[in-house]
Amino acid sequence: GNSVTQMEGPVTLSEEAFLTINCTYTATGYPSLFWYVQYPGEGLQLLLKATKADDKGSNKGFEATYRKETTSFHLEKGSVQVSDSAVYFCALITGGFYGGATNKLIFGTGTLLAVQP
């Protein structure tokens, strides 16, 4: 079945350090891939997405490239800030453009990022 695997946390970095959070997936068909972020006490916010191979999603300095050959969608940021401290979830969805029977998000377990000043 479809699944997402992301690196275990927590990831602790100093401000301005480089961030990588690894994410790999298993899916039938051609999934769309997402990164969501959850701040304490909040719901999930869509951070970025990519809908086909070689697409690069980007937002707020974060980037991730859809790599079909390695089934990966690693999240990167060149210089993290204390305000980036949160839990990051990698997710995929399949189901076709008009929706379908499997049109649901499959999430990884989440990676806690703690950025220290």
Partner 1 sequence: KAGVTQTPRYLIKTRGQQVTLSCSPISGHRSVSWYQQTPGQGLQFLFEYFSETQRNKGNFPGRFSGRQFSNSRSEMNVSTLELGDSALYLCASSVPGQHYGYTFGSGTRLTVV
* CB nearer to partner 1: pick between 16 and 42: 42
SS3 73: coil
* Helix or strand (DSSP H, E) at 34: strand 32-38
Task: Select 80 or 111, whichever has its Cβ closest to partner 1.
Answer: 111
Among residues 21, 51, 20, 15, the alpha carbon closest in space to that of 111 is found at 21
Task: Kindly state whether residue 49 participates in binding partner 1, applying the rule CB under 8 A.
Answer: yes
In our burial notation (b when 16+ CB lie closer than 10 A, e otherwise), range 3-30 reads ebebbeeebebeeeeebebebbbebeee
Work out whether 31 is an interface residue with partner 1 (CB under 8 A): yes
Exactly one of 14, 81, 103, 116 binds partner 1 (CB under 8 A); which one? 103
* Residue from the set 46, 78, 79, 116 that interacts with partner 1 by CB under 8 A: 46
**Positions that interact with partner 1 (CB under 8 A):** 31-32, 34, 36, 42-46, 49, 51, 89, 93-110
